[in-house]
Amino acid sequence: MEAVNNVSYLEYKGKHKGILGWLLTTDHKRIGLMYLWAMLTFFLVAMTIGFLMRLELISPGETLMKPQTYNALFTLHGVIMIFLFIIPGIPAVFGNFFLPIQLGAKDVIFPKLNLLSWYLYIIGAILAVASLFIGGGAPDTGWTFYVPYSIRSTSNVTYALFAAFILGFSSILTGINFITTIHRMRAPGMTWFKMPLFVWGLYSTAWIQILATPVVGITLILVILERTLGIGIFDPALGGDPILYQHLFWIYSHPAVYIMILPAMGIVSEIIPTFSRKNIFGYGPIAMSSLAIAFVGYLVWGHHMFTSGISDTSRAIFSLLTFLVAVPSGVKIFNWVATMYKGSIEVRTPMYMVLGFIFVFSIGGLTGLVLGSLSTDIHVTDTYFVVAHFHYVMFGGMGTIFFAALFYWLPKMFGKMYNEKAANIGATIFFIGFNLLYFPMFIIGYLGMPRRYYDSLPEFQIYHTLSTVGSWVLITGILIMITTIVIALLKGRKADMNPWGGTTLEWTIPSPPPVENFNEIPTVTKGPYEHEYSDK
C-alpha cells in the first residue's frame, strides 16, 4: 500500500507546542477532538435556548419573553442544532477520529484539507452566532429560511444564510476527504466487505454530503441575492416562485436527515456485535441498506410539501416513495435484533443507550408514517406532532447515539475509564426526561397546537407543563452524563487497549492511540466482527 506510506502525516509535529500544536495540527485525531469541544459547546448553547423556550411555554400568556424573542430563539435553536451539531456531528468527531484507524491507515488522505474543514466550521459558527448581535436583530425565519418571508424580514437573515453556506463547504470538504480516504487508504487485505459498518455509514453519508450540499448552497446564495439585489427568483411580488425554493431546499434537507442518521446507524452496528459477543448478522444487507437509504433519500423531498399546492400525482408519488425508506431501515433493525438473538449480551452504558435508541427511534420512524401518508399529514402538518416527530428521530436517533459513541470510544480516545454507574443513571434520567418532554407533543399536535408559537390555549396547558418539566429532567440527565465524562477525563482509571472486547482495528492499538496510530500498517485477514469465542 504505497498510498499509506506516502502521506505527509503530521507536518507540524515537533514544530509547534501548546495551543498552536492544536490550532495548526493536521492529525485526524486532534481535529476530531477540536470538533468535539466545539460541538459540545454549541449543543449546550442550543439546549439552553430550548430550555428557555420551554420555560416560556409553561403557562399561557407572556411568561418570560416577547413573541419576537421566541421567534429568534426557535430559529437559532434550529440553526445551531441542525447545522452545527446534528448534521456535522458524528462524521466530524467520530469519523475523523476513527475512520483512518478502522481502515488501518495513519491519517485521512488529505490532512490539510481536513484542518481547513474545521476552520470553515468555526467561521460559519461564529457568523451564525454573530447574526444575533449585529444591527438588524436576530434572524426570525426558522431554520428552513422559507421565502418570501426570509426575503422580506429585516432581521439578520443574510448573515445566517451565509453562515449556513460556509458550513456547507466544510461538510463538502469532509465528504471528499472521507470518500477518497476509503477508496485509497485501506490497509492490505481490507477489502470493501471487510470494512467496519461504521465506515459504510460514513461512506454513504459522504456521497450525500458532496452531491446534495451544493444544491442548498446555491439556493441560499440565491436568497441572499434576492435580498440584496431584488432579482426575483423566489419572491412572487417580483415574478418569482416561492414553491421553487421549497423544492430546492428539501432536495438537500431531506437527504440531510440521512447525513444525520446513517453514521449513527453505523455506530449502532459497531456497538451491538461488540456487546453481544457475536459476529454481526447480515453484514452485507446492513452495508447495502446504507447505500440504499442514501439513494432513496434523494427521491422523497416532496413529503415536506404536501400542503404547498403541488399536484395530486406528485403527492401520491412522493408519499409512496417515502414509505419505501422504511424497507432499508427495517432491514437494519431486523439485523440488529438478529445479532442480539442468542448473543451473550452485556448491557454496558453504550449498549444500554443503543437499546433506548431502538425504542425511541422506532417511535420516531413510525410516526413518520403518519406524516408520510397524505390524509393524516394534512391534519397534523405544521403542528407539534411534527416537532415531536423530528425530535424523536434526530435527538432520539443521532443525539442519543452521539452520547453512546462518546461512552463507547471514550476509553480509546482519552485512555480513561468512566464511572459506569453514574453514566447509566445519567442515561436513564435522559431517557425518562426525553419521553416526558416530547411525547405530550404528539398529543397536543394531534389536538391542533401549531408549532412556532410562543403562546398556547389553556386547553393545551397540562401537556405543555408536562413537557417543560420533562425538559428539566432531560437536561439533568445530560448534565450528569457530561459531568461523568469530565470526571473521567480528569481522574478516570487508565483504560487498557480493549476494555469491551471489540474486534475492529481501533481495539488493537494502545489507548489513546499513538501519533501515527500504527507502528506497522496491519494486514487484515478476517471480517470486522469475528469474535475469538463467537459461535459463528
Residue 209 Cβ, how far from Cu ion at the closest point, in Å? 17
* Residue placing its CB nearer to ligand HEM in the complex, 391 or 412: 391
* Residue placing its CB nearer to ligand HEM in the complex, 328 or 470: 470
Residue 488 Cβ, how far from ligand HEM at the closest point, in Å? 22
What is the total count of residues that contact ligand HEM (CB under 6 A)?
Answer: 23
Indicate which single residue of 124, 397, 399, 528 sits in contact with ligand HEM (rule: CB under 6 A): 399
* Residue placing its CB nearer to ligand HEM in the complex, 296 or 398: 398
Q: What 3-state DSSP class applies to 225?
A: helix
* Residue placing its CB nearer to Cu ion in the complex, 254 or 277: 254
Residue 181 Cβ, how far from Cu ion at the closest point, in Å? 29
* Residue placing its CB nearer to ligand HEM in the complex, 21 or 148: 148
* Residue placing its CB nearer to ligand HEM in the complex, 307 or 523: 307
Site for ligand HEM in 360-389 (CB under 6 A): 387
User: Per rule CB under 6 A, is residue 53 in the interface with ligand HEM?
Assistant: yes
Among 400, 368, 350, 379, which residue's Cα sits nearest to residue 446? Answer: 379
Q: Do the Cβ atoms of 471 and 437 come closer than 8 Å?
A: yes
Q: With the C-alpha atoms ordered 498, 504, 509, 510, is the resulting torsion angle positive or negative?
A: negative
User: Which of ligand HEM, Cu ion, none does 74 bind, CB closer than 5 to 8 A by kind?
Assistant: ligand HEM
User: Per rule CB under 5 A, is residue 416 in the interface with Cu ion?
Assistant: no
Residue of minimal Cβ distance to Cu ion? 254
Find cell 427495517 and name the residue.
330
Among 390, 328, 401, 340, which residue's Cα sits nearest to residue 363? Answer: 390
Find cell 415574478 and name the residue.
239
User: Which of Cu ion, ligand HEM, none does 410 bind, CB closer than 5 to 8 A by kind?
Assistant: none
What CA–CA distances, in Å, run from 526 to 188, 281, 336, 341, 442? 12, 15, 21, 23, 46
Indicate which single residue of 86, 93, 280, 354 sits in contact with ligand HEM (rule: CB under 6 A): 86
- Burial of residue 261 (CB within 10 Å: 0-12, 13-18, 19+) is buried
x/- string (CB under 6 A) for ligand HEM, residues 129-148?
Answer: -------------xx-----
Q: What 3-state DSSP class applies to 116?
A: helix
Q: What 3-state DSSP class applies to 494?
A: strand
What CA–CA distances, in Å, run from 166 to 32, 216, 404? 19, 11, 29
Find cell 480516504 and name the residue.
181
Site for ligand HEM in 460-479 (CB under 6 A): 471, 474
Amino acid in the structure at residue 158: T
DSSP 8: -
Choices 14-22, 59-67, 76-84, 175-183; region in contact with ligand HEM by CB under 6 A: 76-84
* Residue placing its CB nearer to ligand HEM in the complex, 250 or 395: 395
User: Per rule CB under 5 A, is residue 277 in the interface with Cu ion?
Assistant: no
**Helices within 297-415 (DSSP H only):** 312-324, 326-340, 349-372, 374-380, 384-390, 400-414
User: Which of Cu ion, ligand HEM, none does 277 bind, CB closer than 5 to 8 A by kind?
Assistant: none
Residues in contact with 244: Cβ distance below 8 Å, sequence separation at least 6, in sequence order: 233, 234
Residue 50 Cβ, how far from ligand HEM at the closest point, in Å? 3
Q: What 3-state DSSP class applies to 211?
A: helix
DSSP 394: I
User: Per rule CB under 5 A, is residue 254 in the interface with Cu ion?
Assistant: yes
User: Per rule CB under 5 A, is residue 315 in the interface with Cu ion?
Assistant: no
Residue 152 Cβ, how far from ligand HEM at the closest point, in Å? 17
Report helix, strand and coil shares of the chain as percent, to nearest 5: 70, 0, 30
* Residue placing its CB nearer to ligand HEM in the complex, 50 or 440: 50
Residue 348, by phi and psi: left (phi above 0), alpha (psi -120 to 50) or beta?
beta
Contacting residues toward ligand HEM, per CB under 6 A: 47, 50-51, 53-54, 74-75, 77-78, 81-82, 86, 142-143, 387, 391, 394-395, 399, 451-452, 471, 474
